[in-house]
Amino acid sequence: MAHADTHRAIDAVWRIESARLIAGLTRMVRDVGMAEELAQDALVAALEQWPESGVPDNPGAWLMAVAKRRAIDQFRRNERLDRKVAELGRELETQPDSSAPDLDEALDDDIGDDLLRLVFTACHPVLSREARVALTLRLVGGLTTQEIARAFLVPEPTMAQRIVRAKRTLAAKQVPFEVPAGTELVDRLAAVLEVVYLVFNEGYAATTGDDWIRPDLCEEALRLGRILAELTPREPEVHGLVALMEIQASRLRARIGPSGEPLLLMEQNRARWDHLLIRRGLAALQRAEDLAATLGPYTLQAAIAACHARARIPEDTDWAHIAALYQVLAGRTPSPVVELNRAVAVSMAFGPSAGLELVDALIDEPSLKNYHLLPSVRGDLLAKLGRFGEARREFERAAALTHNSRECALLRARAESCARETTSVSADRTG
């Protein structure tokens, strides 16, 4: 195999194996930072040796064997070789070679638990939300620091410091490598799902930069969600989130035009929606509904997305049902953003005046003061009511608030359209 092909193979192996490798090592050394360093050492060894020796039959076992040996060497150097590591050392010293597959098999019984423990550790509440996202993408997603920095448009040194601080915090706080139990599990799972959904949303509608969507982040969040669904098959909200992301991701190709400009939901060519993802999403939604005694927020949002997915043309959308689902969602998780979304659904079901009344009730909401979608929605409703001068000012305000250049251009174009309508109406009145 050519060296270039070997390096591509190593990249693929690393993306597949890194999370479970780090998870297994963390279980052994009880330190996420050390586990990642050991995994990286094993990757360096692969980069050095595989181009000459070829990719092993069981590359995951090879990487784990090398990482374990490095761990033992490190413990010995630090004079911290306790009984467990001594036993591990004796086991390794009896292995005939570093690619022995039974090392991997020895971890199989625990690997699902290890991955779940790693996810919960990376999303521990002692970390800030930004740190949880970064560490999850690094440890569980297998992204490089450079890739994460690029995705969130921050300098690579800034992201590197964020990740280092997160690992140090976990070590300093002696965060246990475990899946929490009882009520703590419910609370902690919510934090894990929030991190995954934050990653997805940043890909679905980028808050900053020159691209409106970042499909790579959506794909990574989907991958993390699917892993969680496999590891926690009885948790309805995990399936609800997967359903929501699958259905939302089905629209990605239709959300941008030929020049990368945003295309809103009602303007999209639905033939470009990915119907395989829709089917997967609807199946996940059914699982969530079957498991849940009461539908949670992710499942309710997935049910709303399913209403759009089932409508072959925009006119088929059951907006009244969507408005009702938002009403239930507002009762479960009260939020001004949910109320704003409900206002849109109400306007589509019962007319722009009904929607505008709900939006106007949110104008003085402090949490929406700098939320560009509030004036954007209000501008849209005002335009539908023929109040183009007011609509133009709302679109201009929304454009000033957004940090995404594509969305800004769209909002300014809508403001200009309203300005032309205002001129046209004035001309008609004086003509």
Q: What 3-state class would DSSP assign to 138?
A: helix
The mean-pLDDT minimum among 49-63, 316-330, 402-416 falls in 49-63
Model confidence band, residue 270 (pLDDT cutoffs 50, 70, 90): very high
88 contacts 68 by C-beta, under 8 angstroms: yes
Are the beta carbons of 22 and 118 closer than 8 angstroms? yes
Rounded to 5 degrees, what are φ and ψ at 266?
Answer: -75, -10
Q: Mean pLDDT over residues 256-274, rounded?
A: 93
Count of Cβ atoms closer than 10 Å to residue 357 Cβ: 13
Q: Which residue has the higher pLDDT, 236 or 94?
A: 236
- Model confidence band, residue 107 (pLDDT cutoffs 50, 70, 90): very low
- Six-digit token pair at 117? 């423990």
Least confident of 99-103, 316-320, 377-381: 99-103
Q: Regarding predicted confidence, which is higher, 47 or 5? A: 47
- Residue 196 CB neighbour total at 10 angstroms: 28
Split at pLDDT 50, 70, 90, the class of 100 is very low
pLDDT at 391: 97
Helix (H), strand (E) at residue 404: strand 403-404
For residue 99, what pLDDT is reported? 41
Q: Residue 403: beta bridge partners? A: 208
Q: What is the mean pLDDT of the chain?
A: 87
**pLDDT (tens digit, 9 = 90+) per residue, 139-195?**
887 778 888 887 777 889 999 999 999 999 999 999 988 888 777 887 788 889 988
Other Cβ atoms less than 10 A from the Cβ of 108: the count is: 8
Q: What is the pLDDT of residue 212?
A: 83
Its pTM stands at: 0.75
